[in-house]
Every structure is written in structure tokens, then in C-alpha cells.
Amino acid sequence: MVRVKICGITNADDARLAVEAGADALGFIFVENTPRFISTDRALSIIRDLPPFLTPVGVFWDHPAGQVKAVVEQCGLRALQFHGDEPPEALTEYRLPVIKTIKVAGAADLSRMDGYRVAAFLLDSPARWSEGQPREPVEWTLARQAASRGLIILSGGLTAENVAEAIRIARPYAVDVNSGVEAEPGRKDPGKVRRFIRHAKGAA
């Protein structure tokens, strides 16, 4: 069964909603001046109440290693996602599982995976982030090809309406969704979250 990460968690209500709906991981974005930024204090208040087998993932974007490690220690993160231009050598010093985001506009972008030694790759669409507008999906056949290079987490343009088809074609280890289950930037829509997780978990 595919794993599901609900990203862009900014409040305790959305975290509880995702957990109750069956999410496997929650993403907390520590990138300032972005629509779903969360402070370390607020993230800690949410993470300390999570159940033991739910993975809190910190999302970073070209942050200094010292800052990342300080956030890990303060918040109790259990995995790290790097969304910027971090080179392979910058990601080797962390003790937690590392996810590297690769922005995929075409087949040539898959070569950027080479050289990284990480736990998984998150394939995302090229846009920097969503202000609430729909994102373009990653080409799902490319995501399937990418699996020869490592575990794939499929993101970018996923919704409750297309996630099952995306999984059947791409066959990812996990799927990641943010704006596709929102009522507005930073606030999840309960119905969309529940439908997304149900359809993802039910995909054959």
C-alpha cells in the first residue's frame, strides 16, 4: 500500500484531521516568506502530540546545516526534505532519513538524481510553490522511470481525483500533497484530505 504524506501543516486541527484520515507522514515547512511557513515553536506544539508511528518531516530550502540541526533537535523531526539547490555533499551529514526534491519538467531532469545518496526522492513540478492555484502534475511515466534511481515520492498537481491513476501509472513508494487538499493556502479542506487518502490507499 502506498504511503501518504500531507504537507504544509500549519495548525493542530489539520494535523489531527490528517492523522485520523490515515496519513503516514506530515510535512512542516520551515521556509520563511512562503504561504505555509510554520515556526519551530508552533511545529513543536503539534509534533509532540502526534502518535508514535506518524512521521513528522521538516521541509527546508537551502538552509545552513546548523539551522537544520537546531530545528531537528527542537521539534523532534524524524525525516528531512530538502527542496532547494542543495548539492549531494551537503546532504551526507544528517543522521535522519533525507528526502531530496527534484523538480521535473522533462526526462532530462531525472539525471539530477545521480550522485545523491538519500533515502528517497520527491518528484515535484517546476513551480516554486503554489499560492492556491492548481499545480501541473509531474509526468507520471517519468516518475515510473525514475524508480530505477531510488525510492520515489510523487508530488506536484495531485488531487483526490487523480491520485489513484497517478499511483497506478507511476507506482511510487509514496505520494505527497499540499495545495491539492487545501481550502486556502495553509488551511486544509477536511473532505479533500479524507478523499485523497482514501483514494491513494485504495489504488491498486
pLDDT tens, residue order, the chain (204 aa): 999 999 999 999 999 999 999 999 999 999 999 999 999 999 999 999 999 999 999 999 999 999 999 999 999 999 999 999 999 999 999 999 999 999 999 999 999 999 999 999 999 998 776 666 667 889 999 999 999 999 999 999 999 999 999 999 999 999 999 999 999 999 999 999 999 999 999 996
Active site residues: 7, 124
pLDDT at residue 130, rounded to an integer: 64
pLDDT at residue 127, rounded to an integer: 77
pLDDT at residue 108, rounded to an integer: 95
H-helix segments, the chain: 12-21, 40-47, 65-75, 140-146, 163-170, 190-202
- Residue 203 C-alpha from the chain's centroid: 19
The pTM of this model reads: 0.95
Q: List the chain domain ranges.
A: 3-202
pLDDT at residue 126, rounded to an integer: 86
The CATH number of 3-202 is 3.20.20.70
User: CA–CA distance from 6 to each of 14, 70, 85, 107, 136 (Å)?
Assistant: 9, 23, 23, 26, 18
What is the maximum alpha-carbon separation in the chain?
A: 42
pLDDT at residue 48, rounded to an integer: 97
